Chains A and B, each alone.
Chain A
């Protein structure tokens, strides 16, 4: 390169390296705000109260929802989930994914706008800021003013509240993994397990940082969902959209001024219905301008719709300048009322896979057995010849008692003589509630029988009347 070549000016620096202006949102009233608040109340009630719900259990803590990692059992009301039920988790994740794609294809990022933890906690923390520091102009003023007593007090109180809520979020999360009342007591008396303290500290920090400090950056920079929304949206997908034609008219949007106050006057001069008040931008939790069109930053929370509807009401124009509508409908010459367009291969495909996966999961849970058994052949040695020439194979039999009480079992063999089975000195097979017992079994067959036998079955029979026996097929090896 020549030494004198001019330095090319940096055109657009990466947003990662730039300082961000804090987003201070204006509060708004409307049906989407009401819906968001309702979701919030329900979600928080469930999250914060569920670990305290009691449930009668015979052999574990009486907590309705308890992910007991220590005993490797998840208690979900009357359902007990064991590690070997990991298939259910896989199905659940598949269903969650299919549900996400299904709703996104149909009505866009509904998850982001109303249900995502990041949205819920950010929303709550913004509400705290508004209660302590005041409405948007007051908060902006507070940010600009020097660190005086008022600023320290207001910032201190609001951030203390956020940290307090973050802390209780962490405590609640940890309470799902242990008996909640004991845990909370032990937490404050210094007796809780190390993992409990780590969980609480980590969740307090992450909640406060994510919802109190990072906020929309989590959605725009960290969350992958925003980045692949483009492949899940279709032309018929309902999304928060600005009606460009109606808003801009032929001469663009303009603030109401002299001779531009009444809708008919504006239309006569070619101006659209948008009065450029900027409320839709001020209420946006990710700080975008929806009038620029669909953007990856949009979490489709609908607050700009509420803001715009309120403004349209006050200037006497019809509502719905910003509304849930499809790209196709907005672009069509004569837009109809926005409606759900569900007759699409993508939506129907996801719906079908949702139904199939849910059916499989619920069928599987519904028909789960209380006893599980597996047999592992001892492979070293695979078989051994005994003094009388007969052949011995050895097995390890694992019996899992998935009931809530101690259970007794009988063991039989099928396909070989009953006396071939030798269980050693074990007088009776008893398995504690929720436990696994592994037993040594020896099977001796005469050399003729051994040559003829390739497979046989162990039958594990629970002693309670209605229980189904478990049949496990296994191999027999010989010379």
Chain B
């Protein structure tokens, strides 16, 4: 009923070309399709005016200046803030969007910067921001060593989620650690002590943490620990509880950083782990300084994140 009968043609038209009796139909493209094709031409002209388009040698046309430019702020290598205006390109667009998002986050960072550590950790809504922004900062800067969740790796980097802090666990001490970095060091004792003495010390260290050990050796080790021969107590203290001022480990708790005792199942292998550390010492407990790399407010937020979100804060 609603169909136009006039367009129903019985014989289709041909182009008139005839090759050995083979003819070609003329089936014109639909009008809307043709127009769509024309519009793409118009689009290319518009695109060419606005965006970088033609490659010329190792250069390219940058679009007509002023039609579509991007302004963004960036920090140069020597720490200066500069504002740049360029032709449209993906990197500038990215920088511009990053500037915008920084603007959105700024009010929260400002709030954190203006408050004391204690007050930030008491503000539940602010802690939500600390959790999410801190996670990003931590993932970008800290996770390569301390692992994604801050759990660290025995023999490589301290676990930040437990309650032991090598260099002190207060907000101020953590901030100090992040800003200036840390360096843990323990001398090698292979030149100073003989094999038996090292075995005695290692048994004593195991006994401090309640690990399986040889009692006779441990008693001898305790003597040696406090003697001038070995001099362990210089750094670890007479009670072997370490010193956060210099980052010497607390040997009496259950937490191990350099000797992977928890992973070993037999008494011999546990002993070998501890002996390895005493024999060879340590010269690689280095954490770089982040003072120049992160902004002060980022370090402050990261401090709260490490202290309150990850760690025990104790």
Query: Which residues from chain A contact B151 at a C-beta distance below 8 Å?
Result: 380-381, 384
Please state if B1 and A387 are interface contacts (CB–CB under 8 Å).
Answer: no
A294 nearest CB across to chain B (Å): 15
1/0 contact string of A408-449 vs chain B (CB within 8 Å): 000000000000001011110110000001111010000000
Distance, CA A20 to CA B161, complexed state (A): 73
Whole-angstrom distance between the Cβ of B229 and the nearest chain A Cβ: 29
Any chain B CB within 8 A of the CB of A224? no
Residue in contact with A20 in the complex, picked from B3, B9, B30, CB distance below 8 Å: B3
Contact present for A4 and B164 (CB under 8 Å): no
Q: Known contacts A387-B162, A426-B127; is A288 also within 8 Å of B118 by CB?
A: no
Interface residue B148 (Cβ < 8 Å from any Cβ of A): yes
**B11 on interface, CB distance cutoff 8 Å:** yes
A96→B266 CA distance, assembly (Å): 67
Residues on A with C-beta less than 8 A from B21 are 3-4
* Beta-carbon contact of B3 and A387 below 8 Å: no
For A388, the chain B residues whose CB sits under 8 A away are 253-254
Interface residues of A, dominant DSSP:
loop
Would you call B255 and A385 a contact (CB within 8 A)? yes
A427 with B122: CB separation less than 8 A = yes
Once A and B bind, how many residue pairs between them come within 8 Å at the CB atom? 106
Contacting residues, chain B, for A17 (C-beta < 8 A):
30
B149 pairs with A381, CB closer than 8 A:
yes
Nearest-Cβ distance from residue B256 to partner chain A, whole angstroms: 9
Chain A residues 131 to 151 lying within 8 A of chain B, measured CB to CB, are: none
Decide if A385 touches B2 in the complex (CB within 8 Å). Answer: no
The answer to whether B162 and A384 have CB atoms under 8 Å apart is: yes
Question: Does B83 interact with chain A (Cβ within 8 Å)?
Answer: no
Which residue of A384, A426, A430 contacts B159 across the interface (Cβ within 8 Å)?
A384
Interface centre among A15, A430, A442 (most CB of B within 10 A): A442
Minimum distance in angstroms from B252 CB to a CB of chain A: 8
- Say yes or no for B20: interface residue by CB 8 A criterion: yes
Q: Which residue of A lies closest to B25 (CB)?
A: A7
Contact A387 B127, beta carbon cutoff 8 Å: no
Of B30, B147, B254, the contact of A387 (CB 8 Å cutoff): B254
Give the shortest distance, in Å, between A14 (CB) and chain B (any CB). 10
Interface code B257-300, partner A: CB below 8 Å = 1, 0 otherwise?
00000100000000000000000000000000000000000000
Q: Is B10 in contact with chain A by the CB < 8 A criterion?
A: yes
> In the complex the two chains form, what is the Cα distance from A23 to B30 in whole Å?
23
Chain A residues whose CB sits within 8 angstroms of the CB of B147 once the complex forms: 380
Bound: A430/B164 CA distance, A: 31
CB pair A440 B253 closer than 8 Å? no
- Residue ID in chain B nearest A394 by CB atoms: B161
A21 close to B (CB within 8 Å): yes
Which residues of chain B are within 8 angstroms of A288 by Cβ–Cβ distance?
A: 1-2
**Distance from A418 Cβ to chain B, minimum over Cβ atoms (Å):** 18
* CB interface residues, A 186-237, toward B, < 8 Å: 216
Are the C-beta atoms of B312 and A392 separated by less than 8 Å?
yes
A440 with B309, Cβ < 8 A, contacts A384-B161, A389-B254, A425-B122 known: yes
Q: Is the CB of B125 within 8 A of A437?
A: yes
Contact A440 B131 (CB under 8 A): yes
In chain B between 151 and 185, which residues have their CB closer than 8 angstroms to a CB of chain A? 151, 159, 161-164
Chain B residues within 8 Å of chain A by Cβ, number: 41
Interface string of B1-26 (1 = CB under 8 A from A): 11110011111100000001110000
The verdict on A289 contacting chain B, using a C-beta distance below 8 Å, is yes
**Smallest CB gap from B7: residue in A:** A18
- Give Cα A333–Cα B125 distance, bound, in whole angstroms: 78
**Beta-carbon contact of B7 and A13 below 8 Å:** yes
Given contacts A3-B20, A381-B149, A384-B151, whether A430 and B124 have CB atoms under 8 Å apart is yes
Residues of A within 8 A of B118 (CB): 425
Complex interface: chain B residues within 8 A of A378 (CB): 149
Q: Is A334 an interface residue (CB 8 A)?
A: no
Q: Name the interface residues of A426-479: CB closer than 8 Å to any CB of B.
A: 426-427, 429-430, 437-440, 442
CB closest chain-B residue, reference A422: B312
B150–chain A nearest beta-carbon distance, Å: 8
Q: Please tell me which one of the listed residues A3, A19, A381, A385 contacts residue B254 in the complex, with CB atoms under 8 A apart.
A: A385
A423 to chain B: closest residue by CB: B124
A7 to B163, CA, bound (A): 89
- A392: chain B residues at CB < 8 Å are 161-163, 312
Query: Interface readout for A167-200 with B: 1 if CB under 8 Å, 0 if not?
Result: 0000000000000000000000000000000000
Q: Which one of A289, A380, A387, A424 contacts B313 once the chains associate, using CB atoms below 8 Å?
A: A424
Among A3, A4, A394, A440, max chain B CB count under 10 A is at A440
Nearest Cβ distance between residue A107 and chain B, in whole angstroms? 25
Asked whether, in the complex, the Cβ of B12 is within 8 Å of the Cβ of A7, the reply is yes
The reply to whether A424 and B121 contact each other, CB–CB distance below 8 Å, is yes
Interface flag for A49 (CB, 8 Å) = no
Residue A9 at the chain B interface, CB threshold 8 Å? yes
Beyond A3-B20, A9-B10, is A387–B164 a contact (Cβ under 8 Å)?
A: yes
Contacts of B210 in A (CB 8 A): 389
A281 within 8 A of B: yes
Seen from chain A, the residues whose Cβ lies within 8 Å of a Cβ on chain B are 3-4, 7, 9-10, 12-13, 15, 17-21, 23, 216, 281, 287-289, 378-381, 384-389, 392, 394, 396, 422, 424-427, 429-430, 437-440, 442
A sample of 7 inter-chain contacts (CB < 8 A) reads A216-B2, A381-B159, A381-B161, A385-B254, A386-B254, A387-B163, A392-B161
Extra inter-chain contacts (11) besides given A425-B121, A439-B127, CB under 8 Å: A3-B21, A7-B12, A18-B8, A21-B2, A385-B254, A387-B253, A387-B255, A392-B161, A424-B308, A437-B124, A438-B131
Interface residues of B (CB under 8 A from A): 1-4, 7-12, 20-22, 30, 118, 121-122, 124-125, 127-128, 131, 147-149, 151, 159, 161-164, 210, 250, 253-255, 262, 308-309, 312-313
